[in-house]
Structure 1
Amino acid sequence: MQENKNKYYDIAERIYDLDGEVYECVGSSLGRTFTGDKRACVDNLVMLMRTKPQGHLLRSELALISNMARTIRKDEDRSRLMKKYDEILKEIAELPASFGKVEILDENRAKLNTANLRQKFSKDDHLIICIGRTQGSAGNDIGFALADALRINYYDAEIFNEVLRRLDAEKDSVTDVADLGTDLIENKYQGSGRTIKERLKDFDRYHGLTREDAIFFNQSDLICKMAKEEDFIVMGRCADVILANNHIPHISIFITAPFEQRVHRIMEVNDLDQKKAVRLLKKLDRQHARYYNYYTGQKWGDAMNYDICFNSASYGIEESVDIIERMLNQNTNS
C-alpha cells in the first residue's frame, strides 16, 4: 500500500515539474497548467490518479501539457520533454485506477470484424478529427489515445474551458454543457432558477443572445481559428457541423456501443449500481442529443451525419485507435 502511495506521489511530482519545464521552454503568456502551491497541486494530482471517476480530469491536465510541449520550437528541448511525457503516460497506464483501464470490447463481436476504411483528405489541410460519442462508449479514451498516437493536440470540455479562460474569456462562458453533463443544458430547455435581474444582466453582456447561445458562438469561433493553425482532435461541442458550415475539411467520427455494454462500463468506472448507471446514461445521452440537435439542426448519432460510425464494443480502445490510424495511413499512401 505504501509502495503504491509513493508511486503516485513520484508521478505527480514529475508531472508538476514537467509542466514547469514546458512553460520555461515555451515562454507562453498563457501560463502554466498548475499555478498553485506545489504540494497542493501534487496532492490533487494524486487524488485524480487514485479516483477512477475523475480520470478524465487527469487526462485533460496531461493533454494541456503535451499540447503546449508540441509548440516548443527547439527540436532538442521538444524531443526531451515529450520523451518525459511519454514515460509518465506509460507509468500512469500501469496504475490500477488509470483512465482507459476499463475496456469496452465485446470479444464475440470483435471476431466478426475486418477494417477497410478510407477518407479523402488534402495534404495541405490540417488534420482535424471531430469525435462524437455516446456516454460510456470509451469515446474520450479513444480520442485521447489517438491524439497521443498521432502526436497532435487533444481538446475536450475541460481543456476548452482552460484555454478560453487563459485567453481572458469569461470563465463561465466556455463550458460545454453537452460534454460536462451540467444542468446548463436543462436550463435552456426546461427553464432556469435565475432571477430576472440576472437574465437581464446576461442579455446585456451577450448583446441580446442567451448565455447558452453566447457560449456556443464563443466556442465556434475558437474551433474555426484553431482549425487554420494546427492539427487536433476535438471531442463533441458540435465541431463537425461548425467546421462543415465554415467549409473547413475534417473527419467526423461517431463512437457508440450497445446500451448494455455501456451500462456495464459505467458501473465499473463510476462505481455505480445498475439502476443508477442506467439512469445516468439515459440522462447524459438525452442531454447530448438535445444540445447537438438544437445547435446543428441535425440528428445526433445519425450515421448520415458522420464520415465514420463504429461500435467500440467490437474493437475495444486500442483497436479502435488502430483502425483510425490505418484509415489515415491508407489515405496518405494512396
Structure 2
Amino acid sequence: MANEEKDLRGLAGRIYDLDEEVYRELGSSLGRVFNGKKADCIEETVRMMHERNEAHILRNELALISNMARTIPDDESRRRIMRKYDAILKEVTELPTSFIKGDILDQKMAQLNALNLSSRFSDSDHLIICIGRTYGCGGSEIGFTLADTLKINYYDVEIFDEVLKRLEAEKSTVHDRGGYPYKKNGKDERQYLNEIPAFAPAPKSTLKEKFREFNRYHGLPKKDAVFFNQSDLLCDMAKREDFVVMGRCADAILTNNRIPHISIFITAPLEQRIHRVMEVRKVENEKKARHLLTRLDKAHIKYYKYYTGRNWGKARNYDLCINSASYGIQGSVDLIMRMISQEK
C-alpha cells in the first residue's frame, strides 16, 4: 500500500514537472496549469487520483498541458515533451480510478454497428470534430481519448473557461461558466462540479452587478454576449488548429460560418446512463440519478434550441450518431477514427 502511494506521488510529481517544462519552453504564464506550491499541487493531484468522481478534473488538467505543449515551436522539444506526456497519460489511464474506466458498453448492442461516410475537407481545412452528448454516456471520455489519439487539442466547457480566462489577462472580454458553477458560498470550489453538473442555474445577481454587466456587455444579456464571444473564439480557432470540441453549440456555429467540420452526437439508453452516473459520479440512488439526467437533458434541449434554432439530439443535425452502449468508449473512438480516415 505504501509503495502504491509512493508511485502515485511520483506520477503526480511528473505531471507537475511536465507542466513546468511546458511553461519554460513557451516562456509564458499561459502555459502553466499548476500555479501553487509543488508540494500542495502534488497532494491535490494524488487526492484526485484516489477519487473516481474527480477523474474528469485530472483529465482536463492533462488536456490543458497537452494543448499548450502542442504549441511549442521547436519540433524536437515538442516531440520530447509529448513523449513524456504519452507515458504519463498511459499510467493515468491505467489507474483504477481513471476517467477511462467504467465503460458504457452493452455487448448485445455492440453487434448492431454500421457506418456511412462522405468527403468534405480541402487540403487547407483543419480537422474539427464537434461532439454533442447526453450526460452519463461517456461522451467526454470519448472526446478526450479521440483528441489524444489524433494528437490534437481537446476543448470542453471547463477548458473553454480556462482559455477565455487567460485571454482576459491580455484583453477585456467575457467568459462563460457554461452552466458549471465553480463558485459556492463565494469560494472557488471545483468539487461543486460534482454536486451540480452542466447547465445549473446561475446565482442571482444584485442590481449593482446587473448594471455593471449591462455596461460591460454593451446592453446585451450576459448569456448572449458570452455566446457571441464564444462563437468568435471558435471561428478563430478553426483557422489555426485541429481540435475536438464538446458541446458549446459548435456544430451550428461552424455551419453558420461555412467552416468544414465533422458533427457527432453521442448518447446511450437512459438506464445505462443512470448506472454510469451512479458509478462514476457517486450519485446516491437511482431516483436521484434519473431526476438529474432528465433535468440536464431538458436544459440541453432548451439552450441548444434557443441559440441555434435546431433540435438537440435529432439525427438529421449530425454526421454520425453513436450509441456508446453499442461500442464502449474505445470502440466509439475506433469508429470515429474509421470515419476520419475516409473523411480526410
Taking structure 1 as the reference length, the TM-score comes to 0.93
Counterpart selection for 1:252 from 257, 263, 267: 263
Does the CA contact (< 8 Å) of 1:178 and 1:291 recur in 2?
no
Tell me the residue number matched to 2:147. 147
Tell me which moved more, 50-59 or 117-126: 117-126
Equivalent position SS for 2:95: coil
Equivalent position SS for 2:109: helix
Residues in 2 aligned to 1:304 and 1:109: alpha-carbon distance in whole angstroms: 22
Deviations 1:10-50 (A, max 9, x none): 11100000011111112235241111111111111112222
Tell me the residue number matched to 1:314. 326
Tell me the residue number matched to 1:173. 175
Tell me which moved more, 229-238 or 161-170: 161-170
CA offset at residue 111 of structure 1?
A: 1.8
CA offset at residue 184 of structure 1?
A: 6.5
Q: Which amino acid is 1:281 matched to?
A: L
CA offset at residue 112 of structure 1?
A: 2.5
Does the CA contact (< 8 Å) of 2:133 and 2:139 recur in 1?
yes
Equivalent position SS for 1:107: coil
Taking structure 2 as the reference length, the TM-score comes to 0.90
Tell me the residue number matched to 2:201. 186
Tell me the residue number matched to 2:229. 218
Tell me the residue number matched to 1:323. 335
Runs (5+) with no aligned partner, structure 2: 182-192
Tell me the residue number matched to 1:293. 305
Runs (5+) with no aligned partner, structure 1: none
Deviations 1:29-86 (A, max 9, x none): 5241111111111111112222111111111110111111111122221111111101
Tell me which moved more, 93-102 or 286-295: 286-295
Deviations 1:109-139 (A, max 9, x none): 1023244444432222000000000001100
Q: Percent identity?
A: 58
| Superposed counterparts of 1:46-57, under 5 Å | 46-57=46-57
* Structure 1 runs of 4+ with >3 Å offset: 114-119, 169-172, 178-187
**Residues 1:67 and 1:193: Cα distance change in structure 2 (over 3 Å):** closer
Residues in 1 aligned to 2:26 and 2:289: alpha-carbon distance in whole angstroms: 43
| Superposed counterparts of 1:22-101, under 5 Å | 22-101=22-101
Does the CA contact (< 8 Å) of 2:107 and 2:326 recur in 1?
yes
Residues in 1 aligned to 2:140 and 2:260: alpha-carbon distance in whole angstroms: 22
Deviations 1:229-257 (A, max 9, x none): 00000000101111111111111110001
Tell me the residue number matched to 1:275. 287
Equivalent position SS for 2:260: coil
Equivalent position SS for 1:140: helix
Count of matched residue positions in the alignment of Structure 1 and Structure 2: 328
CA offset at residue 196 of structure 1?
A: 2.6
